[in-house]
Homo-oligomer: A and B are copies of this chain.
Amino acid sequence: MAKKIVIVGGVAGGATTAARLRRLDEQAEIVMFERGEYISFANCGLPYYIGGSITKRDALLVQTVEGMSEKFNLDIRTLSEVIQINRDRKTVTVKHLPTNKTYEESYDYLVLSPGASPIKPPIPGIDDANNLFTLRNIPDTDRIKAYIDHEKPKKAVVIGGGFIGVEMAENLWERGIEVTLVEMANQIMAPVDYEMAAILHQHIRDKGVRLILEDGVAAFEQNGRIVKLNSGKTIETDMIILAIGVKPESELAKQAGLEIGERGGIKVNEYLQTSDPSIYAVGDAIEVKDYVNGQPTQIPLAWPANRQGRIVADHINGRDVRYNGTLGTAIAKVFDMTVAATGNNEKTLKRLGIDYEVLHIHPNSHASYYPGAFPIALKLLFDRKTGKIFGAQAVGYDGVDKRIDVLATAIKGGLTVFDLPDLELAYAPPYSSAKDPVNMAGYVATNLIEEMVETIQWHEVNDLVEKGECIVDVRESIEREMGFIPNSINIPLGQLRKRLNELPKDKTIYVYCQVGLRGYLAARILMQHGFKVKNLDGGYKTYS
């Protein structure tokens, strides 16, 4: 007999499951419930439609109900909310929203892909703020866009510096609105570490966005015309975007007695089955295993939702497929820059007490002599002993996505930092250098592990300065005009061998240059002449 599969949620995870189910089984009965009016829309495009770079609303609708029903022979029911799972009799209770009528629908397999919803904490005044929006779906988008089109706000406050907050800041700015971005932490873009986010802080401030860090919202006043911060600051505004994160839509699963993780995500096994094996769950609603450290986590992104949806369809059809965890590869455009990361960041490794080594380099996106090359700030985290790659982060104007994708592939391929120099990447001047930034990261990592050089980190410098340590700037004198570390002496690399007698043999010498390369060369010279030496990782650029 034909299987009957019921799917809750008709967008990334749900629609993908449905499509693959049909390709695998022409006979299956497939019912997809979606409480909204639209299915299969481009969540990720919403900010850009508001900002105007996506001009056609239709472009956001990847599949229509009609088109998808026809192509995949699906029973798609929109405006239909699944309000209960009746596991004992394998049915769901559905409420048809326009009529408020409820009915039961039976299933052999149930697939939950209900997504996540924007967090909206009970901040005083939030319910009266009639200019406050969250962004998750098409109706939210329509509301925000209509508000901008008709009310023509001059000022906006975006609360939350995650990727949706930052994308919205940019897109409101594109509309000519004066934007203030408020973030509780000391940095935006949590997937990268502080010193990487600092590059973005500078960039968005340069663009004219007012960025307030380490401050949260205490209250909304005057129907949202005043945002009051914990610090006491008040901001006048015409509109507010609240984007402080999402929480899994796991209420339905919870009420049905399915196991839920600590942070609210539905628990699943490697086949993406919940604690009830005939119920699968995917997407933003679930808890996943961190691919690098094995801990439970939540990664509300589109790639996992799509991947998981297909795996579920395969597993329902008897195929032996597994989901091996999520790396959390993520990327965002931040005005003219790109920020991307994969795997674990330093904050996570510290929190878990994992021993790691770190490097920062600033290679050009492609050959420096070919027009349009910009440095990429690239950070790599790895195991000092095994060379295992824990994670990578990059910020720059060009070529950031490529390097993070290569590193994400390396991680999934089980490659270590020792393998990175051997990656034979495509080189011609418009695209890369004969040693690609990823190769370079591999060289630098290998040198650290093989003790060719020891490094110190940007956050250790001030302490050294205070202690009056011997700090040597090996850049050309002219480069110091743009700034240098206080109390550092200047011996350009080319003169170093002749001026060794100016340096102490009894204490550690801290060398630095602009990005770390000449500092490394200096360190090699000094080490081999019997000096104790450490190089400033990432150079003055990462430090400053």
Contacts and interface: CB of A to CB of B under 8 A. Distances in A.
A225 interface: no
A404 B60 CA distance: 29
Contacts of A435: 303, 306-307
A391 B166 CA distance: 39
Interface in A92-128: none
- The listed residue with most B CB atoms (<10 A of its CB), out of A333, A429, A493, is A429
Nearest to A404: B426
B409 A410 contact: yes
Interface residues of A, number: 87
A146 interface: no
A509 B50 CA distance: 46
Contacts of A429: 42, 44-45, 48
Nearest to A394: B426
- The listed residue with most B CB atoms (<10 A of its CB), out of A306, A324, A329, A409, is A409
A252 B310 CA distance: 59
A469 to B, nearest CB: 24
Interface string A29-48: 00000000000001011001
Given A426-B331, A434-B306, A497-B73, A369 B59 contact: yes
Contacts of A239: none
Given A45-B370, A48-B370, A425 B303 contact: yes
Nearest to A427: B303
A432 B528 contact: no
A426 B401 contact: yes
A59 B429 CA distance: 12
A354 interface: no
B434 A12 contact: yes
A424 interface: yes
Interface in A292-343: 301-307, 310, 324, 326-333, 338, 340, 342
A26 B525 contact: yes
A53 interface: yes
A428 B71 contact: no
Interface in A360-418: 367-371, 401-402, 404-406, 408-410, 412-415
A480 interface: no
A276 interface: no
Contacts of A71: 493-494, 521
Contacts of A436: 303, 405
Nearest to A495: B70
A254 interface: no
Contact of A54 (B48, B371, B406): B371
A71 B332 CA distance: 39
Contacts of A26: 524-525, 528-529
A512 interface: no
A23 interface: yes
Interface in A504-522: 520-521
A494 B70 contact: yes
Interface string A66-89: 010011110000000000000000
A421 interface: yes
Given A23-B521, A59-B369, A429-B42, A419 B412 contact: yes
Given A26-B524, A26-B529, A415-B412, A434 B302 contact: yes
Given A59-B369, A434-B306, A413 B421 contact: no
Contacts of A422: 307, 324, 412
Given A310-B421, A369-B45, A370-B48, A401 B432 contact: yes
A435 B520 CA distance: 40
A194 interface: no
A367 B42 contact: yes
Nearest to A72: B521
Nearest to A323: B422
Given A67-B494, A401-B402, A331 B23 contact: no
A468 interface: no
B434 A412 contact: no
Interface of A: 12, 22-23, 25-27, 42, 44-45, 48, 53-54, 59-60, 62, 67, 70-73, 163, 291, 301-307, 310, 324, 326-333, 338, 340, 342, 367-371, 401-402, 404-406, 408-410, 412-415, 419, 421-432, 434-436, 439, 443, 452, 493-494, 497, 520-521, 524-525, 528-529
Given A54-B369, A307-B439, 14 more contacts: A44-B428, A53-B371, A60-B369, A72-B521, A303-B434, A303-B436, A305-B434, A307-B421, A327-B424, A402-B405, A405-B425, A408-B423, A409-B409, A412-B423
